[in-house]
Structure 1
Amino acid sequence: MAFNELLDQVGGLGRFQILQVLSLISIMVVAFPQALLENFTAAVPDHRCWVPLLDNHTASGNASDVLSQDALLRVSIPLDAKLRPEKCRRFTHPQWQLLYLNGTSPSTNEPDTEPCVDGWVYDRSSSVSTTVTQWDLVCESESLTSVLRFLLMAGMMVGNIVFGHLTDRWLAESARWLIVANKSQEALKELKKAAHKNGVKNVGDTLTMEVVRSTMKEELEAAVTKPSPWDLFRASILLKQILLLSFVRFANSMLFYGLNLHIHHLGNNIFLIQCLFGLVNILANCVALLALNYIGRRVSQVLLMFLMGISILAITFVPQEMDTLRVVLSTFGEGVCVATLLCSITQGNELIPTSFRATGLGIIAICGNFGAALSPLMMILRMYSEPLPWIIYGILSIVAGLSVLLLPETRNQPLPDYIQDVKNKARASTKAEREDSLDKVTRF
């Protein structure tokens, strides 16, 4: 490509590009952990109903002198199906007869129970105070935690839209985009700035307006006709690609935040899981880079999204008691999810032409933010079936992986600058497929 020749003159991959990447990383390091804080500020500790025999010291004084805490808990709180104290109900009256029965023995008369009308008692061994304990967001009010997370993610979505426009006032534009937008003077200025930071000397003698115009002659001639954003929707091939990329990003973001915002459903030690997720993210990015370079964009995404869907579906079949296996599966799913997200972003950047890249990527990012905002609301479905949200996540990942097959491969392909480049590439691909099929037929 012609623009690559200009990049070589300003130093290729040098100090300027490295500083750009480091500045973006510094922003992400500060911003991204804010969403993950919900795992700790909104942690749901173990809880049970407040009962007088255990929690009213005046009423429990005599009983606690005679009976142990476990015995008082047994007569005050019923057991669930797994023979653990109920979290949301208590006996209407103390059931003293239970002290003389085997805990697993059936009772002919079921004692009356009631909700936690006097509040709850929380295990504060790992978290002294959270939004859940502060506002009693448990039992009947448990779904409100999902609503709070939804509001957080919705706020991030609105912020991305609003501040995405505001950044145009102070961020330097891409020189490639400036040339395509028929702003060659500004493009030359940005190229010289990059060359200076890369340590290229005497760039003013070799990089002039005449050089830019001769190198980018075809691009500048095409830039005379200013494209309209509506052209993006009138080109069927480009519209199809953006819709597919938006669906894939929607699924990726929903799964990514579905895992990261609900780690308390995946294991008992949220601190350990969060550390494992952080470590596997680093490894996942390395794996994604290798897959993109050696396998290709399309095949990498399909394989990774299938693995992600299978690992999430597998979690639903693992009992809560097998905590180690659940953590291993969820950590693997997190790593695959991160790798898939990187592959999706790379392919989106390479498919959308430069003249519409900002608009197209903005649409895809909004769809991804919408999926991230919906991910907490999926957990409300746990009220009807415990594994239902994870089943939906797994199926969505597999379906999104299949949709990637409808996108073209972009590895080692030149970046398109205009819609016509996308159309020409599609025609060339169709022609090659027809010639290949004819060749196979004529052999017989």
Structure 2
Amino acid sequence: MEYDAILQYLGDFGPFQRRTALLLVLGSMQTGLHIAVMTFIGAIPIHHCRVTETGVSAYNTTWPDALNFSIPMEEVDGTWRLSSCRKYSREILSGNFTTMESTTGCTEGWEYDRSQYHSSVVMQYDLVCERAWLRELAQSMFMAGVATGGIVFGVLSDRYGRHRTLLVCVLLLVTCGTGLAFTSNLAVFIALRFVLGAAQNGLQYTTLVTGMETIGISWRMAFGICTALAPSVGYALLGSLAYVIREWWILQLAVTSPGVLSLIAWWFIPESPRWLLMNNRVEQWRKTIQRIAEYNGIDLPPFYEYVESSTVHIGSTEEVDGIPGDSKRNYNLIDLVRTQNMRKITVMITIASFNTICVYVGLLFGTSQLAGSHYVTFILGACVEAVAILLAGMTMRRWGRKRSAVGFSLLAGVSCAATAGVPNDLGHVATALATAGRFGVSSTVAVLDIYCTELFPTVVRYMGVGTNIMVSRAGGIVAPFLSLLGNAWRPLPLLTLGVLSCVTSVVVTVLPETHGVPLPNTLQDGENFGR
């Protein structure tokens, strides 16, 4: 509490805090670039088996027409087209006609339509047909990295500080992102995607936690909304870059280049003063406070020495109500569930986040097949998310975190359930409802990201956030498989997403409201939070 008082004296959002927040938000924009870049570098173009031009079928006919004699036709979504994965194994000349026998796989490789994508990872490694699962593996490994990075960098940040963790994440993004553009080995490509997933998630949430602990209470929500909005801006930037840059490895380098600027900005971002104070880094905390005061052009308050001396010993080495003392001890995952209230907070916010990410990814896959240009629809989707996040910010300021999360998750749930009941011939209605669901779940994600960082005490905040990220991102791995439920009953996948969203709205109701409330610092604060 004493630190919040001195922070208000220095300025909740003074010049130093504004500069720090701006650098953090600009740096987090690159997370959106890395999250979605596989959409373009891993794009699957129209393709068919490679065949020679000197076969019997090419006699007295043009080459495009000759493909009809070498490659069978297949029906896809009611349209007949050349098969993507099969070709005729033999051609037999019979009078004036050429007949074909059985079909076989693409033994000589594939030909790709390069009119939209000049090159992609799929073309380079032939990740189509029986090898298509390798492309999905690369995407799944990225999500696995996201889940792993949440807990790994959460522990590192709580133990070694936000500042060092931020540097490690940026260095990994730059080095692995650059290596990804030049590797010629698929196994290395997949491994680097895993590391990139971990690093981008670490960067995203280190940024969020650092800002939340540096600025004052009145601006925490606004900063959280800006960090949530940053990836959407990154999505829109990615769509524009992909439209201009059609070579996948050049696009990968373009996506990685902002990391160099983040390395420069890192020198101007301080360690979290709150983390320093709670970890008894007295001298470093004093220098940071003096740095903020000098930059903001104010003198330190008369009670500065009192705050400094009284808060350093805020922890106790004695056990209170089953909670170990907070002074000079290392924290672990058990602290998140050691006591009743902390256990309730940890379990409930994790369930809510898992469901929300599962619904988000499920709707993302379900709405990605909209007609039109890939680039235009991708940018428009980013704009929908941006508007949803801005609306989430306004509702959180007016009605708080809890009611906002409940309302938006109900919107997503009702939209999913309604979409499941739309007949096949009313595609435009289904598209509108799916967009409403995407809007609702995007807002819910924005709310829960802020809500989660405010629920956990400072001493285990990043560990709690990291654990929540790890479990919730597993929902992103599960979500694509929900579409298989449609084989049993067509509306079942969307009904499942609707149920998950409704469960989220119920779970959130048992969590304490955090809007306008000082952040808990110790485990004892966390146990008393909301009571």
TM-score by length of 2: 0.64
| 1:208 equivalent in structure 2 | 304
| 1:196 equivalent in structure 2 | 294
Q: How much does 1:412 deviate?
A: 3.2
SS at match of 2:59: helix
| 2:344 equivalent in structure 1 | 240
Counterparts of 1:294 and 1:48 in 2: how far apart (Å)?
A: 55
1:154-303 pair list within 5 angstroms: 154-163=144-153, 165=156, 168=161, 170=164, 172-200=270-298, 202-203=299-300, 206=302, 208-213=304-309, 220-223=313-316, 225=318, 226-227=325-326, 229=331, 230-258=334-362, 264-303=368-407
Given that 2:417 and 2:495 are in contact with CA atoms closer than 8 Å, whether structure 1 keeps it comes out as: yes
Quick one: structure 1 residues 135 and 71, their matched pair in 2 at CA, closer, same or farther if it must change by over 3 Å? closer
Q: In the alignment, is residue 33 of structure 1 matched against residue 33 of structure 2?
A: yes
Given that 2:420 and 2:491 are in contact with CA atoms closer than 8 Å, whether structure 1 keeps it comes out as: yes
Given that 1:179 and 1:220 are in contact with CA atoms closer than 8 Å, whether structure 2 keeps it comes out as: no
Counterparts of 1:193 and 1:209 in 2: how far apart (Å)?
A: 16
The count of corresponding residues between Structure 1 and Structure 2 is: 406
| 2:502 equivalent in structure 1 | 398
Structure 1 counterpart of 2:277, which letter?
I
Quick one: structure 1 residues 327 and 143, their matched pair in 2 at CA, closer, same or farther if it must change by over 3 Å? farther
Q: How much does 1:57 deviate?
A: 5.0
Q: How much does 1:235 deviate?
A: 0.5
> Is there any run of 5+ residues in structure 2 with no aligned partner, and where?
94-99, 167-269, 319-324
Quick one: structure 1 residues 419 and 152, their matched pair in 2 at CA, closer, same or farther if it must change by over 3 Å? closer
Q: How much does 1:251 deviate?
A: 2.9
For residues 141-172 of structure 1, the C-alpha deviation after alignment (integer angstroms, 9 at most, x for no partner) is: 33332211011222344445555527726364
Give the CA RMSD over aligned residues.
4.1
Given that 1:150 and 1:375 are in contact with CA atoms closer than 8 Å, whether structure 2 keeps it comes out as: no
* Bigger Rg over Cα: 1
| 1:106 equivalent in structure 2 | none
Quick one: structure 1 residues 49 and 58, their matched pair in 2 at CA, closer, same or farther if it must change by over 3 Å? closer
Quick one: structure 1 residues 71 and 186, their matched pair in 2 at CA, closer, same or farther if it must change by over 3 Å? closer
Structure 1 counterpart of 2:75, which letter?
L
Quick one: structure 1 residues 350 and 18, their matched pair in 2 at CA, closer, same or farther if it must change by over 3 Å? same
Q: How much does 1:352 deviate?
A: 1.5
| 2:105 equivalent in structure 1 | 116
| 2:80 equivalent in structure 1 | 84
Structure 1 counterpart of 2:468, which letter?
I
Counterparts of 1:324 and 1:187 in 2: how far apart (Å)?
A: 57
| 2:135 equivalent in structure 1 | 145
Q: How much does 1:361 deviate?
A: 1.8
Q: How much does 1:48 deviate?
A: 4.2
Counterparts of 1:11 and 1:289 in 2: how far apart (Å)?
A: 22
Counterparts of 2:291 and 2:137 in 1: how far apart (Å)?
A: 47
TM-score by length of 1: 0.75
SS at match of 1:124: coil
| 1:357 equivalent in structure 2 | 461
Given that 1:41 and 1:130 are in contact with CA atoms closer than 8 Å, whether structure 2 keeps it comes out as: yes
Q: In the alignment, is residue 414 of structure 1 matched against residue 510 of structure 2?
A: no
Counterparts of 1:148 and 1:385 in 2: how far apart (Å)?
A: 29
Counterparts of 1:268 and 1:320 in 2: how far apart (Å)?
A: 19
Given that 2:49 and 2:71 are in contact with CA atoms closer than 8 Å, whether structure 1 keeps it comes out as: no
Quick one: structure 1 residues 381 and 36, their matched pair in 2 at CA, closer, same or farther if it must change by over 3 Å? farther
Structure 1 counterpart of 2:302, which letter?
T
SS at match of 1:32: helix
For residues 3-35 of structure 1, the C-alpha deviation after alignment (integer angstroms, 9 at most, x for no partner) is: 332112212211122122222222222233022
Quick one: structure 1 residues 248 and 315, their matched pair in 2 at CA, closer, same or farther if it must change by over 3 Å? same
Structure 1 counterpart of 2:61, which letter?
S
Counterparts of 1:331 and 1:391 in 2: how far apart (Å)?
A: 16
Q: How much does 1:400 deviate?
A: 2.6
SS at match of 1:84: strand
Quick one: structure 1 residues 22 and 385, their matched pair in 2 at CA, closer, same or farther if it must change by over 3 Å? farther
Q: In the alignment, is residue 346 of structure 1 matched against residue 450 of structure 2?
A: yes
Q: How much does 1:343 deviate?
A: 0.8
Q: How much does 1:271 deviate?
A: 0.9
